[in-house]
Every structure is written in structure tokens, then in C-alpha cells.
């Protein structure tokens, strides 16, 4: 009888330890998800310099400055392609999906949508989440 109680106690103890370990792993996974920023690369393609005109209007109208001032915005920058002058790349980084969702709920999205239509732009979109640079790659990075 003592042996059965001992085994039962050991099983209950192990089950509790496994549960605690599982909860800690879940908490760590949640923290890692929250710490990962999201970068969205958007390529705007048009004709007759329209992608460039779109980016200029976004910048000079104050829309870009307003987006950069939003909580959770980490980066909002336009670049022109050397290979294709009709394509502009937007690198748009946010602290979280919640920050992106809040941005998408602002009136600025209506302005951006209107300008995309005005300049007849087509888009391709790529999304990335942040990750630490592995130590093995640091020797290739000149800072």
C-alpha cells in the first residue's frame, strides 16, 4: 500500500512539474511573439513615373510623417528600384500586428487607397518577422 501511494504521489508530482514547465514554455512563446516586429515590403508599380509621384505626394502631403508618428511604427521609407524605375519599394515596419491593425483602422488608409487609385498602382506585398542575427553571420556585417 505504501508503495502504491509513493508511486501515485510521484506521478502527481511529475504531472504538476510537467504542467508548470508547459505553462512556462507557453509564456515564453507568447513573449517571443510580442517581441517580434513585422516588416512589410510593398512594391508599387505603375507607368509614366506614377509610382514616384505617389511616393512624393505621400511624403509632401504629410501622410508619411503622420504614419511615422503612429504608435508602434518602427520604419516607413520609400526606395526606388535601380532595375525598374517604374517600381517604388516601401519598407514598412511595425512593433506588432496590433500596431498594424490600428494603422489600418485610421483615416490615412482612405488617403493611401485614394492615391493608389489616382496613380493606378499595382502592388506586391511580402511580410517578414524579426529575428536575431545569428552570431555566425556577424562577421559578414560591417557596422
Q: Are 92 and 15 in contact (CB under 8 A)?
A: no
The full set of domain ranges for the chain reads 37-130
Helix (H) or strand (E) holding 127: strand 122-129
Return the closest-CA partner of residue 76 out of 60, 61, 52, 59: 59
Chain center to CA of 120: 26
Instruction: Say what the pTM is.
Output: 0.71
List the pLDDT tens digit at each of the 143 positions of the chain. Answer: 666 566 656 565 656 655 665 566 555 544 444 568 999 999 999 999 999 999 999 999 999 999 999 999 999 999 999 999 999 999 999 999 999 999 999 999 999 999 999 999 999 999 999 888 888 888 888 88
In the DSSP assignment, the letter for residue 84 is -
The pLDDT value recorded for residue 33 is: 47
CATH fold of 37-130 reads Alpha-Beta Plaits (3.30.70)
Residue with cell 545569428: 134
Amino acid at each position: 500500500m505504501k508503495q502504491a501511494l509513493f508511486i501515485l504521489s510521484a506521478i502527481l508530482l511529475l504531472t504538476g512539474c510537467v504542467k508548470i514547465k508547459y505553462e512556462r514554455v507557453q509564456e515564453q512563446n507568447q513573449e517571443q511573439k510580442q517581441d517580434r516586429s513585422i516588416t512589410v515590403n510593398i512594391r508599387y508599380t505603375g507607368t509614366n513615373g506614377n509610382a514616384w509621384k505617389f511616393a512624393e505626394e505621400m511624403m509632401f502631403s504629410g501622410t508619411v510623417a503622420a504614419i511615422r508618428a503612429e504608435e508602434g511604427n518602427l520604419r516607413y521609407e520609400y526606395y526606388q528600384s535601380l532595375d525598374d524605375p517604374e517600381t517604388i519599394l516601401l519598407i514598412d515596419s511595425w512593433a506588432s500586428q496590433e500596431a498594424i491593425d490600428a494603422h489600418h483602422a485610421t483615416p490615412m488608409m482612405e488617403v493611401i487607397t485614394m492615391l493608389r487609385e489616382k496613380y493606378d498602382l499595382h502592388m506586391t506585398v511580402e511580410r517578414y518577422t524579426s529575428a536575431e542575427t545569428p552570431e555566425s553571420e556577424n562577421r559578414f556585417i560591417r557596422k
